[in-house]
């Protein structure tokens, strides 16, 4: 695909590219559908519960039934809500979550585009979803929704900073913002992947990424016990589904980005295993990252909002800055 994208743009190439986009959209939607199912089953297994087991064999159609229910539910808009912003907010939240996926390389030749600022593109677009969440809270004309939106803005801004700074060390080691270049810069042995030389940045990245996803233990914008589901409490039907869809598409994106930045992408952990296709290694690492997110949700309680903000500014931000300075000194002394 990467080589094909270098050819001159014609109507035929455009049609093929569009078809690939549609196929990829359905792949991501399929992932979202069954990621929800497996999350329920994994959490049920960890907490000694059954999980979905009624709709379809082994409960495999439970998520499809839930989606169908959301699609046929009445679409309600509060009378005193800002109608156009209320309608626009789910779109602003979802579209960037799918747009960031175009820069993720799955193998050395399977990717949509190789931007020389791919990592910057990802960071810039993922921030836009915060605007959709704030708009949803504001436009609903509901105090609980507004509190959820404000919490989300504070949380995402606070954790976006250490998230971005945590990958600066990876950029310094590879000398590029291109995600393909970053993967190719990681060695043929697993201890040469970025997660070991950049262990501080890796830990900061994982924690900040979980917060960016608004997932347990950082799901403060949706805290049911305090905010009755937070910023999307007034949404129903397919508009509510857009918010849930965006969350799980970002799970796909963050798991892919973690694999690319820190876990060697499509590289095998040892040279003698290179006979296994790179896409298989990518999928295995990707699935491990997704499982880790489910594992966190099953085991950790929600933290308080003051603990959340204090941890982001007083712990993660200093650690990410220290990582940048240490990496810069290492590059200057031992690589140049």
Domain contains 293 = yes
Token pair of 63 as six digits: 């998520």
Count of the separate structural domains present in the chain: 1
Q: What is the pTM of this model?
A: 0.91
Q: How confident is the model at residue 43 (pLDDT cuts 50, 70, 90)?
A: very high
pLDDT of residue 193: 92
Q: Is residue 79 part of a domain?
A: yes
Name the more confident of 233 and 3: 233
Does residue 33 form part of some domain? Answer: no
- 3 state DSSP class of 68: helix
Does residue 27 lie within any of the structural domains?
no
As given in the structure block, the two tokens for residue 279 are 């896409």
How far is 116 from 91, CA to CA, in rounded Å? Answer: 28
Gap between the Cα atoms of 215 and 218, Å rounded = 5
Q: What domain range includes position 314?
A: 73-335
Please indicate, yes or no, if residue 264 is contained in any of the structural domains. yes
Q: Is residue 314 part of a domain?
A: yes
Query: What region does 63 belong to: left with phi over 0, alpha with psi -120 to 50, or beta?
Result: alpha
Residue 269 pLDDT: 92
14 in a structural domain: no
In angstroms, the Cα distances linking 67 to 33, 42, 236, 238 are 8, 20, 12, 8
**Average pLDDT value for residue range 23-40:** 90
Handedness of CA 185, 187, 188, 193 (dihedral sign): negative
Phi, psi of 207 (to 5 degrees): -65, -45
Cis peptide preceding 97, ω within 30 of 0: no
pLDDT at 3: 52
pLDDT band at 21 (very low <50, low <70, confident <90, very high): confident
Q: Is the pLDDT of residue 180 over 60?
A: yes
Mind listing the pLDDT tens digit for each residue in 77-117?
888 888 899 999 999 998 998 889 989 999 888 888 888 88
């Amino acid at each position: 695909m990467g080589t094909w994208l270098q050819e001159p743009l014609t109507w035929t190439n455009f049609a093929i590219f569009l078809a690939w986009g549609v196929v990829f959209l359905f792949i991501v939607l399929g992932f979202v559908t069954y990621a929800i199912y497996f999350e329920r089953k994994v959490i049920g297994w960890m907490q000694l519960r059954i999980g979905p087991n009624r709709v379809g064999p082994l409960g495999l159609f439970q998520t499809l039934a839930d989606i169908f229910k959301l699609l046929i539910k009445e679409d309600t808009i509060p009378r005193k809500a800002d109608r156009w912003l209320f309608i626009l907010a789910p779109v602003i939240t979802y579209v960037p979550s799918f747009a960031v996926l175009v820069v993720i390389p799955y193998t050395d030749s399977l990717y949509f585009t190789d931007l020389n600022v791919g990592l910057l593109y990802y960071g810039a677009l993922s921030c836009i979803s915060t605007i959709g969440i704030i708009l949803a809270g504001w436009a609903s004309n509901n105090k609980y929704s507004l509190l959820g939106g404000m919490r989300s803005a504070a949380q995402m801004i606070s954790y976006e900073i250490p998230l971005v700074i945590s990958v600066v060390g990876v950029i310094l080691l590879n000398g590029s913002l291109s995600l393909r270049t970053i993967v190719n810069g990681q060695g043929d042995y697993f201890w040469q992947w970025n997660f070991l030389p950049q262990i501080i940045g890796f830990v900061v990245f994982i924690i900040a990424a979980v917060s960016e996803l608004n997932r347990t233990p950082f799901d403060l914008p949706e805290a049911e016990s305090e905010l009755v589901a937070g910023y999307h409490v007034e949404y129903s039907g397919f508009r509510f589904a857009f918010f849930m869809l965006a969350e799980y598409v970002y799970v796909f994106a963050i798991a892919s980005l973690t694999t690319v930045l820190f876990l060697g992408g499509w590289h095998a952990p040892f040279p003698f295993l290179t006979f296994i296709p790179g896409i298989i290694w990518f999928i295995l690492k990707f699935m491990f990252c997704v499982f880790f997110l489910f594992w966190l949700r099953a085991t950790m309680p929600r933290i308080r909002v003051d603990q959340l903000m204090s941890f982001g500014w007083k712990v993660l931000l200093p650690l990410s800055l220290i990582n940048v300075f240490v990496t810069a000194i290492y590059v200057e002394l031992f690589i140049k």
